[in-house]
Amino acid sequence: MSMDDVTRFTTALDQNPEDVPSYLGRAAAYYAQGYFQQALEDYDRAIGLIIKLKANALIGAGDLQGALDVLSQAIAANPNDAHSYLSRGIALSTMGNNQQAVDDFNAALTIDPNNAAAYHNRGIAFAALGDVAQALADYDAALSLNPNDPMVYYNKGVAHKQAGDYQQFVEAFKVAAQLGFDQAQKFLIDAGIPF
């Protein structure tokens, strides 16, 4: 393997930053060239993604405790992996353990302060805890990093509705609908509100 392989795998990762085979290939290329630290970083990233995929499968199968166990092991093995904290936070939030979820989202953001998904999911947890102001601040932070995410606009709208701000609720739903989010479109159509 050569540095050309590193370039090829890096290009693939630019297109799909969660492509496990590309991380493994680039790690092997780095290793072959004697760049052991870079190889280790890519292997850690691949392992983290595999664990995230396994945890997501466990969540999909309804085994939330199994997902928590896998993610807790991943965090113990690599406490600097923001993705594991994010995934465990999502599992905790799904189980209704929103304060613990906030703690994991905080950990993810400490490691990766530009993680839009961590802001979005922390906003969901804060909304569930009744802290609408913090939820809205997190949704705004997520949108500053990823301004075309219809789910964030949808959840921002729900938070505005929770706060009693109907106008902002409708405005956020309009943006979510314009970005193609079906639930927002259905609500606006059923309410007779053009978007």
Structural domain boundaries in the chain: 1-61, 148-195
- Is the Cβ–Cβ distance between 162 and 126 less than 8 Å? no
Q: If you average pLDDT over residues 5-34, what whole number do you get?
A: 93
Mean pLDDT over residues 146-150, rounded?
Answer: 97
Distance CA 59, CA 163 (A): 30
190 confidence band (pLDDT: 50, 70, 90): confident
pLDDT bin (cut points 50, 70, 90) of residue 52 is confident
Whole-number pLDDT of residue 153: 97
| pTM listed for this prediction | 0.79
For range 143-150, the mean pLDDT:
97
1-61 CATH pick, 3.30.500.10, 1.10.760.10, 1.25.40.10, 3.60.21.10: 1.25.40.10
- pLDDT band at residue 119, thresholds of 50, 70 and 90? very high
Mean pLDDT value of segment 125-152? 98
Q: Residue 189 above 90 pLDDT?
A: no
pLDDT at 11: 94
pLDDT, tens only, 55-84 = 889 988 989 999 999 999 889 878 998 988
What per-residue confidence (pLDDT) applies to 92?
Answer: 94
By residue count, the chain amounts to 195
Q: What is the pLDDT of residue 45?
A: 86
Measure the CA–CA gap between 158 and 18, rounded to whole angstroms. Answer: 30
